[in-house]
Structure 1
Amino acid sequence: MRNKGNRRRPMAEINVVPYIDVMLVLLVIFMVTAPMLTQGVDVELPRVSTEPLPTEDDRENLIVSVTADQEYYLELGEESPQSVPLTEIQTFVRQILENNPGTAVLVRGDQSVPYGRVVELMVMLQQSGVHNVGLVTEPL
């Protein structure tokens, strides 16, 4: 008579090594491609030797960019920037401020843009109801 304890039972374990290999490959792929996914307008900001101001992280910022070609772009939070003519900036900014009254407005002006264009933009923002405008620069 055979002893019932000698029978082989099916193995109920899963080999997870191939899954770990796949996950590591995906991790490397995402680490390499993540920096390429940043969007924005190509603006060469002026460099200054000041400390950045503290910001409140819970507010979205409205960023108005002026490129070297003197084109204007609006960017709100994580949305991709959209090109807007200077004459229509007032309308867009008013709508954004009506929907989100606590929105901070920042101006990113390329260093090659004439100062008059940046001042003209700031006047348009003031006429839109913006009381405080921040200027974005890069540290040295």
Structure 2
Amino acid sequence: MQYIPRKRRRKVAEINVVPYIDVMLVLLIIFMATATVVTQGVSVDLPQAQSQPLSTESEPPLVASVTVDGEFFLNNGSVDQNQSLQLDELAALVAAELQLAPNRPVVVNGDGRVPYDQVIQLMVTLQAAGVPSVGLMTDSGDQ
């Protein structure tokens, strides 16, 4: 009997990625379907809570105000409180104040009848001026 040498098969060290592609496509479809549900707003009744006043030990806050007429004001001690400002002027003044006192609190004082858009514009302007966090002034209602 004659010996016939057999060819040895080389082992293939490849990963079959087809199942991973299938899983990725399924996940993509699931995320696309749920993304529309997540981004829609839900109507909720927000809780009411007592607000805490700022501590008297901290620096007096910068108060950015917006009136029902859409005029903006800044009360920082150096600018006349009765002088209406444009948003870019207000941003420049706030940025200058924060250069002098970076930890100075900034709060928004808005009339209750002010359109929501005006308050958001003011808050975006303050954020662009470098304010790390903005507080909202409230009335305690104990009058």
- Stretches of structure 2 that go unaligned for 5 or more consecutive residues are 1-47
Residue 98 (structure 1) aligns with: 99
The residue that corresponds to 1:124 in the other structure is 125
Q: How does 1:3-82 map to 2 (within 5 A)?
A: 49-77=49-77, 80-81=80-81, 82=83
Q: How large is the RMSD of aligned CA atoms in angstroms? A: 2.0
- Tell which has more relative contact order, 1 or 2 (C-alpha 8 A, sep 6+): 1
Seen in structure 2, the aligned counterparts of structure 1 residues 79 and 120 have a Cα distance that, compared at 3 Å, is closer
- 3-state secondary structure, aligned to 2:63: strand
2:137 maps to which residue?
136
CA distance in 2, matches of 1:93, 1:106: 11
Query: In structure 2, how many angstroms separate the alpha carbons of the residues matched to 1:99 and 1:50?
Result: 32
Work out which of the two has the higher radius of gyration on C-alpha atoms and give 1 or 2. 2
Moved more, 86-95 or 61-70: 86-95
> How far is 1:79 from its partner?
6.4
1:74 is paired with a residue whose SS is strand
Amino acid at match of 2:89: E
In the superposition, relative to structure 1, how do residues 58 and 108 fare at CA in structure 2: closer, same or farther (>3 Å)? same
Q: Give the partner amino acid of 2:137.
A: V
Aligned length: 93
Q: Is the 8 A contact 1:61 1:103 kept in 2?
A: yes
Question: Relative to total residues, which structure has the larger strand share, 1 or 2?
Answer: 1
Q: Which amino acid aligns with 1:101?
A: P
Q: Per-residue deviation at 1:93? A: 0.8
Q: Is the 8 A contact 1:61 1:77 kept in 2?
A: no
Segments of 5+ residues of structure 1 without an aligned counterpart are 1-47
TM-score, normalisation: structure 1: 0.59
- Structure 1 residue runs of 4 or more that deviate by more than 3 Å after TM superposition: 77-80
TM-score by length of 2: 0.58
Conserved? CA contact 2:51–2:138, under 8 Å: no
